[in-house]
Amino acid sequence: MKKITLLGLSIGSGVLLWASWPVSPFTFLIFFALVPLLYVADSTQKRTRFFLYSFIAMLTWNAAATWWIWNSTDAGSIAAIIANALLMCIPWWGYHVFKNKFGKKTGYISLVVFWMCFEYIHLNWQLSWPWLTMGNVFASHPSWVQWYDCTGVGGGTLWILLVNILVKRTIDIRRKEGWVADIANMKSWAAYTVLVIVPFFYSGVYGALHSHETSSYKVLIVQPNIDPYQKFESLSPSQQIQKLISLSEPAIDSTTQLILWPETALDANITQDQTQTNSVYEPVFSLMKRHPNATLLSGIETFKVYGTEKATATARKDANGFYYDAFNAAVVIKAGQPLQFYHKSKLVPGVESLPTFLNFMAPVFEKFGGTAGGYGRDTGSVAFHVPGDTFITAPIICYESIYGEYVASYVKKGANILTIITNDGWWGNTPGHRQHLAYARLRAIETRRYVARSANTGISAVIDDHGNILETQPWDKAAVISYDIPAFSGETFYVRYGDYLYKIATLIACLFFAWNLILWIRKKISR
């Protein structure tokens, strides 16, 4: 193929990936999106040249699907998009190497395991950014992937890769032997049945046969609609609290069991142990005394002072020489009960945390609007158990809701409702906040739990255990949702075993790498 054709195919793959991405109505395009890049791999022998073509495809996808990061950090968004595109090229480069050395069949297997290995690493290392995990693409169509309660998004990624490879193979056969030969090929029909029809059939049957009859309890979700860029200029912490209370109290009655306020709703800049005694928060505690049957789960910014010794790896030193940790946290408040805190554990790289291996770049991150010191964090998830309450809540803070296995860990600790508190206003009215809402639908399916989502500027929502949005409030509106939500128990296969598909693929990828390394060493020795 000519270079211009290869370039067009590379860009075409990127465009198809973007066009299929939430919240696009053309999700089905994901099943063909990788085919053009697979043909580029067939037509390019030089590894460096194919790396360039794959980078063009991945850069097109990243830029078109996540351009909205620009609204929160301009130069940082450019760096993030380029870096993520480069990382995505690594499994494609590995596929190209194995295909040329061992043939197409081995190459296809290597593509599947290398890409899934990449996604697994991207879910768990310090520069984690799994926003474009392929399995997330079905977030706008939860009825297609009810089987995520068994596989999580890893199953979706595997499905996409296999179908794209099958489509590519079908085209190859038809180009070589004609349409008649492929139509008569029973293996192809069997493969299409297993890979395409069975997943849809399972999802349809599950949705029709699985319904729950159980008691429901009133949850109040508050959306204050406070501009995060004007948060401290337009309203004082006391005024913000008054707005939250004025929205909440008229909707509270004797049956209200849970009130949900968004991320960083409480931000008086005080230490954690002063939360209950500081005058700024007194109206909040008065509200809960007036409504003793209800429990409030709210986002809160707070900090701990440790003294002259660095107590944690994330602790920073203030002007007086004392070390402290700042937290993006959640707090649960109920009259007559002690406070419970959870400190956000999955922090946004470069914005809320700086990976230890990039400490030397701290001045650069600060220049781009990020942080060098970073927030403090908990070592894992925390489920809020309040004596006498029906709900055991999962305080999932913003970015954490895109991590399937991490969200499942709340359920393992007893959570019977997923409570997501977020502030998506940093990105403005862009696809970013709509994608974030859509991903919460996948968490509902994986855990078979209802989701109550409080978003500062929107979109707040109630999502059932099948991933259906039952009620929502629009972007850029102060509003309240009052909804009766059931508290489910039990664990799905995915909750029990997590990202097992990713782990299996990573093991096979390591074996492939070791095999290639051994062959390379033997070749060197023989020379």
pLDDT digits (tens, 9 = 90+) for 216-239: 999 999 999 998 877 767 788 999
pLDDT confidence band for 367 (50 / 70 / 90): very low
How far, in Å, CA of 97 to CA of 28, rounded?
29
Decide the pairing of beta strands 461-463 and 451-455: antiparallel
Domain limits for position 140? 3-210+499-526
Q: Is residue 198 in some structural domain?
A: yes
Q: Is residue 362 in some structural domain?
A: no
Q: What does the pLDDT read at residue 212?
A: 67
Range among 3-12, 194-203, 372-381 rated most confident? 3-12
Q: Is residue 358 in some structural domain?
A: no
Lowest mean pLDDT among 123-137, 319-333, 345-359, 437-451: 345-359
Q: Are residues 284 and 147 in the same domain?
A: no
Q: What average pLDDT does the segment 271-300 reach?
A: 95
Structural domains in the chain (count):
2
Q: Report whether 10 contacts 43 (CB < 8 A).
A: no
CATH number (domain holding residue 383)? 3.60.110.10
Mean pLDDT over the full length of the chain: 90
The token pair that represents 85 in the structure block = 């595109």
Rounded percentage of the chain residues whose pLDDT exceeds 70: 92
Q: Are residues 16 and 121 in the same domain?
A: yes
**For the segment 124-155, what is each residue's pLDDT rounded down to a tens digit?**
998 999 999 999 999 999 999 999 999 999 99
> Which contiguous run of DSSP H or E holds residue 214?
none
Q: Is the pLDDT higher at 178 or at 321? A: 321
Q: Are residues 121 and 84 in the same domain?
A: yes
Give 142's DSSP letter: G
Q: Are residues 178 and 252 in the same domain?
A: no
pLDDT confidence band for 450 (50 / 70 / 90): very high
Q: Are residues 41 and 102 in the same domain?
A: yes
Rounded percentage of the chain residues whose pLDDT exceeds 90: 74
Q: Are residues 254 and 338 in the same domain?
A: yes
Nearest to 256 by CA among 292, 218, 295: 218
Q: Are residues 7 and 59 in the same domain?
A: yes
Q: What average pLDDT does the segment 62-90 reach?
A: 92
Q: What does the pLDDT read at residue 370?
A: 40
Q: What average pLDDT does the segment 393-412 reach?
A: 97
pLDDT surpasses 90 at 308 = no
Q: Are residues 10 and 104 in the same domain?
A: yes
Q: Report whether 231 contacts 241 (CB < 8 A).
A: no
DSSP state string for 296-336: EEEEEEEEEEEESS--STT-EE-TTS-EEEEEEEEEEE-TT
Which residues are within 8 A (CB) of 146 and not within 5 positions of it... i.e. 6 or more apart? 202, 203, 206, 207, 445, 466, 467
How far, in Å, CA of 265 to CA of 269, rounded?
12
Q: Is the pLDDT higher at 519 or at 410? A: 410
pLDDT surpasses 60 at 373 = no
Q: What does the pLDDT read at residue 375?
A: 87
pLDDT surpasses 70 at 293 = yes
Lowest mean pLDDT among 12-21, 52-61, 186-195, 212-221: 186-195
pLDDT confidence band for 366 (50 / 70 / 90): very low
**For the segment 465-502, what is each residue's pLDDT rounded down to a tens digit?**
999 999 999 999 999 999 999 999 999 999 999 999 99
pLDDT surpasses 70 at 72 = yes
Q: Are residues 71 and 194 in the same domain?
A: yes
Please state, as a whole number, how many other Cβ atoms lie within 10 Å of the Cβ of residue 93.
Answer: 17
Q: Are residues 189 and 115 in the same domain?
A: yes
How far, in Å, CA of 31 to CA of 168, rounded?
10
How far, in Å, CA of 5 to CA of 177, rounded?
24
